[in-house]
Amino acid sequence: MKYMDKFTTQKRSSIMRAVRSKDTKLERKVRSSLWKRGLRFRKNSSLPGKPDISNKSIKTVVFIDSCFWHGCAIHCRMPKSNILYWDNKISKNKIRDNLITEKYIDKGWNVIRIWEHELKDDFEKCIEKVCKAFSS
């Protein structure tokens, strides 16, 4: 069954272009909280996988994964149009995430992945998790 998008192709394209891939409101909130606690780091670095937060001296990277783009098993709602494209896209993102995580771990880095919903559910717990990793 083919699903009709309620937006025109041009409007849908415009909506998707507006989705930020870095420096999101949630990322800024996390960075601000960490900075206020005295943690020092780089943002959206040129390291593999482009971690949202990184500190090379302590070999730690933080990825803030959105529920949609990274395929959260709980919250990812797949679009009803162009299903094959989106299923393929999200699957590739999940595979890439796993490969990037393994690459860092193999090189002795500490990798923290935080789901968007975890930050929304218990922001302070997530911040403490990052602070603990930065102080280890």
Query: Would strands 53-55 and 60-65 be described as parallel, antiparallel, or unpaired?
Result: antiparallel
Quick one: pLDDT at residue 41? 95
Quick one: pLDDT at residue 18? 56
Question: Which run of H or E residues covers position 31?
Answer: helix 25-36
Q: Are the beta carbons of 116 and 130 closer than 8 angstroms?
A: no
Number of residues written out for the chain: 136
Angstrom distance (rounded) from CA 126 to CA 4: 39
Query: Domains plus CATH for the chain?
Result: 23-135 (3.40.960.10)
Quick one: pLDDT at residue 72? 94
Quick one: pLDDT at residue 77? 86
Residue whose tokens read 């193999």 = 106
Q: What is the pLDDT along the chain (136 residues), one digit of tens a residue?
A: 455 567 677 775 665 565 556 688 999 999 999 999 999 999 977 899 999 999 999 999 999 999 998 999 999 888 888 889 999 999 999 999 999 999 999 999 999 999 999 999 999 999 999 999 998 7
Quick one: pLDDT at residue 1? 47
Angstrom distance (rounded) from CA 17 to CA 31: 24
The pTM (predicted TM-score) of the whole model is 0.83
Quick one: pLDDT at residue 70? 92
Q: Are the beta carbons of 81 and 6 closer than 8 angstroms?
A: no
